[in-house]
């Protein structure tokens, strides 16, 4: 019975996505008003495809949030845009004719991507997607990128709200081999070799900031790989070391 329910839910999501894409292709988006309409909501979703990863941003007049789900570790930051910030963001969509962006379908599998959805008073909406089997038409890539970049600037600016300092400490036992370190799929160290440090160094420190909630730190040290759950809410950092050729860790208290 549970399997049937899941299948029906997946079918519902797929059909909704198809209807939305079909509406865009047929020009059924509502025209964007010249000025920011009442009850405007802007949603931006990032899918990792086969990878268990997603991002979402929700923006409205009353409240907004940005959330990341990486393999079940969820972090979230709440924020609020001023009327001026909302006007500036909405203007980008008007200037780039977001409601007219064309897409096409191509049979591909396991592809993630991005979707943007605007809705406002009286059930009006406009959407476009560059995800899954839906692609942005070449003639509209510039306009799509402008709209996407405007949202990503908001993410970069507002995700710093409430962030806390967090220290990643590499023990001397990790030195001598190339390491790659990612936080929620974003690189913190790529190909850097702590072994280049003076032998007098006992530790190598990376200082970063974390959003509220839980996140994953991925460490790859030439054959040794592991994921570590991290949260600045519960600790001030993490110490990574090698024992019996395996990566180990301990948390650093505030």
pTM as predicted? 0.74
Q: How far is CA 52 from CA 48, 71, 201, in A?
A: 6, 5, 37
The predicted model gives 181-209 an average pLDDT of 82
The predicted model gives 167-183 an average pLDDT of 92
pLDDT value for 173: 92
Query: Residue 50 and residue 111: Cα distance in Å, rounded?
Result: 7
Considering only CA atoms, which of 45, 76, 79 is closest in space to residue 62?
A: 79
pLDDT value for 26: 44
pLDDT value for 160: 82
Asked if residues 179 and 220 have their Cβ atoms less than 8 Å apart, the reply is yes
Residue 16 has pLDDT above 80, yes or no: no
The predicted model gives 122-144 an average pLDDT of 97
Asked if residues 88 and 229 have their Cβ atoms less than 8 Å apart, the reply is no
According to DSSP, residue 213 is labeled B
Q: How far is CA 17 from CA 8, 13, 132, in A?
A: 14, 6, 10
pLDDT > 70: what percent of the chain?
Answer: 87
Query: Residue 204 and residue 167: Cα distance in Å, rounded?
Result: 10
Query: Residue 41 and residue 248: Cα distance in Å, rounded?
Result: 44
What is the per-residue pLDDT across 36-95, written as a single tens digit (0 to 9) for each? 999 999 999 999 988 888 999 999 999 999 999 988 889 999 999 999 999 999 999 999
Asked if residues 48 and 114 have their Cβ atoms less than 8 Å apart, the reply is no
Considering only CA atoms, which of 64, 43, 59, 52 is closest in space to residue 184?
A: 52
What is the per-residue pLDDT across 224-249, written as a single tens digit (0 to 9) for each? 899 999 999 999 999 999 999 899 99
Residue 10 has pLDDT above 60, yes or no: no
Asked if residues 86 and 40 have their Cβ atoms less than 8 Å apart, the reply is yes
- Residue 32 tokens read as 């964007």
The length of the chain in residues reads: 254
**Distance of alpha carbon 158 from the chain centroid:** 13
- Residue 68 tokens read as 């990341």
- The domains of the chain are located at 2-158, 164-252
Residue 24 has pLDDT above 90, yes or no: no
Q: Which CATH class name applies to 2-158?
A: alpha beta
Q: Does domain 164-252 have CATH number 3.40.50?
A: no
At 30, is the pLDDT very low, low, confident or very high (cuts 50, 70, 90)?
very high
Residue 179 has pLDDT above 80, yes or no: yes
pLDDT value for 198: 60
The predicted model gives 2-18 an average pLDDT of 39
Q: Which helix (H) or strand (E) holds 116?
A: strand 113-120
Q: Which helix (H) or strand (E) holds 47?
A: strand 41-47
């Amino acid at each position: 019975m549970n399997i049937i329910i899941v299948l029906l839910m997946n079918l519902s999501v797929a059909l909704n996505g198809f209807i939305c894409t079909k509406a865009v292709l047929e020009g059924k988006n509502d025209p964007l008003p010249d000025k920011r309409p009442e009850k405007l909501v802007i949603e931006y979703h990032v899918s990792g495809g086969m990878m268990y990863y997603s991002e979402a941003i929700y923006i409205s007049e009353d409240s907004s949030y940005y959330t990341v789900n990486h393999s079940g570790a969820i972090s979230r930051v709440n924020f609020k845009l001023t009327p001026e910030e909302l006007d500036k963001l909405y203007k980008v969509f008007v200037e780039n004719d977001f409601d007219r962006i064309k897409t096409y379908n191509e049979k591909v599998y396991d592809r993630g991507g991005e979707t943007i959805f605007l809705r406002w008073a009286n059930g009006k909406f406009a959407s476009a997607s560059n995800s899954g089997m839906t692609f942005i038409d070449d003639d509209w890539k510039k306009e799509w990128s402008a709209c996407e970049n405007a949202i990503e600037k908001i993410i970069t600016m507002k995700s710093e709200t409430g962030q806390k300092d967090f220290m990643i400490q590499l023990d001397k036992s990790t030195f001598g081999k190339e390491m790659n370190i990612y936080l929620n799929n974003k690189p913190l160290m790529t190909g850097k070799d702590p072994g280049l440090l003076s032998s007098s160094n006992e530790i190598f420190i990376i200082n970063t900031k974390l959003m509220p909630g839980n996140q994953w730190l991925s460490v790859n040290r030439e054959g040794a790989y592991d994921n570590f759950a991290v949260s600045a809410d519960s600790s001030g950092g993490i110490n990574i070391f090698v024992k019996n050729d395996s990566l180990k860790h301990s948390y650093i208290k505030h």
